[in-house]
Amino acid sequence: MSTFGQIFRVTTYGESHCKSVGCIVDGVPPGMSLTEQDIQPQLSRRRPGQSKLSTPRNEKDKVEIQSGVEFNKTLGTPIAMLIRNEDQRPHDYNDMDNYPRPSHADFTYLEKYNLKASSGGGRASARETIGRVAAGGIAEKFLKQVSNVEIVGFVSQIGSVKMDRDPFDPKFHHLLNTITREKVDSIGFIRCPDVNLAGAMVQEIEKYRGNKDSIGGVVTCVVRNLPTGLGEPCFDKLEALLAHAMLSIPASKGFEIGSGFQGVSVPGSKHNDMFYFDEETQRLRTKTNLSGGIQGGISNGENIYFSVAFKSVATISQEQETCTYDGKPGVLAAKGRHDPAVTPRAIPIVEAMTALVLTDALLIQKSRDFAKSITH
């Protein structure tokens, strides 16, 4: 459904062609300074129209806080936020009405809800993610205050152009330790921190744009400075919550944490993260981090890092041989311009969902911390 989280909880609403999209964030820490300026940057990063690589629809996506804040301080009560839908253009899609768009949600929404929204699969629209990103802004600000938690996503693959994500490679971990959003954005809208690859990725996208086609990509995300102890075994292991969050993002097809699918072929003797005592932080740390910062479903204080696969966008201008709702074969081509590669724009969504998961897990763990302080 449209609610996510247990004691820090987000509920979103809205599709492409309604009055507004937005969310209610419940369980917000009280007394936190908060204005729309805290929320807007990630919304703007998510926004289409940031470069020629993305769709030219010029949505403004200005967030308006409705409740839960007084004199720029959170009250602890639910914070509702809305972002108006300005560029609705519902008639753009008229010609396609008889066709369920291939690999889009038109057919499944019809099966589930027995209706065809003018926007096709209503909540399968990318605009659905705006509420998530707005909510993530609050979560991120809180995590920053708790322990300077940093969440940074970047593009690690576009089509066949792929950064090495070798969990044994110190360079990869150096990147994870040092990458910032500023660096990610400084490379341009492609948001790949490897400057050489970034150019190849842009070319890859341009190639598919020229063909009226689209292409997928991978977002890799790192979380630094997270406290230990987060995650609630056995079903709500921290990686399980992250996987849930990531696979709920439109077009995502895969998730891997730490060594991921590569780790399968690494023997235990190499895959195990040996412990050592770190003099600087005066605590146990691990020499390697194949685990990706989570062991037994619980954060261990090392960097959390994971990757999310995004398939190529389903809406393409190329002609497609498919059939109508009533089974007649035909040719369908989307009108208008379409974003050939949404992966770079998925970054703030990945970051937001990460922040939502971590804030909820952290707040629950703080309760566990209290409990164990009492009983010992």
Nearest CA to 73 among 28, 26, 32, 134? 32
Q: From the candidates 106, 273, 339, 360, give the one annotated as an active-site residue.
A: 339
Smallest distance from the beta carbon of 264 to a copy of itself, in angstroms? 4
Give the CA distances from residue 14 to residues 129, 250, 336, in Å, rounded to whole numbers and listed in that order.
9, 14, 22
DSSP string, 285-334: EES--SS-SEETTEE-SSPEEEEEEEPPPS--SS-EEEE-TTS-EEEE--
Q: From the candidates 17, 185, 194, 213, give the one annotated as an active-site residue.
A: 17
The stretches of 50-180 forming alpha helices (DSSP H) are 106-113, 129-147, 170-178
Distance CA 45, CA 26 (A): 24
Smallest distance from the beta carbon of 158 to a copy of itself, in angstroms? 8
Distance CA 237, CA 234 (A): 6
Is position 244 annotated as part of the catalytic site?
A: no
Amino acid at 301: G
Smallest distance from the beta carbon of 221 to a copy of itself, in angstroms? 14
Encoding tokens for residue 331?
């040719």
Q: From the candidates 38, 104, 273, 360, give the one annotated as an active-site residue.
A: 104
Residue 70 vs 182, nearer CB to a copy of itself? 70
Distance CA 130, CA 128 (A): 6
Q: In sequence order, which residues have a C-beta less than 8 Å from that of residue 232 and are 6 or more positions away? A: 297, 361, 364
Smallest distance from the beta carbon of 140 to a copy of itself, in angstroms? 14
DSSP, collapsed to helix, strand or coil, labels residue 332 as: strand
150 with 158: CB under 8 angstroms?
no
Residue 9 vs 57, nearer CB to a copy of itself? 9
Is position 339 annotated as part of the catalytic site?
A: yes
Residue 44 vs 88, nearer CB to a copy of itself? 88
Residue 94 vs 114, nearer CB to a copy of itself? 114
Residue 44 vs 228, nearer CB to a copy of itself? 228
Smallest distance from the beta carbon of 239 to a copy of itself, in angstroms? 5
Smallest distance from the beta carbon of 171 to a copy of itself, in angstroms? 21
Distance CA 245, CA 237 (A): 12
Residue 214 vs 354, nearer CB to a copy of itself? 214
Is position 104 annotated as part of the catalytic site?
A: yes
Distance CA 267, CA 39 (A): 44
Q: Which residue numbers are catalytic? A: 17, 104, 339
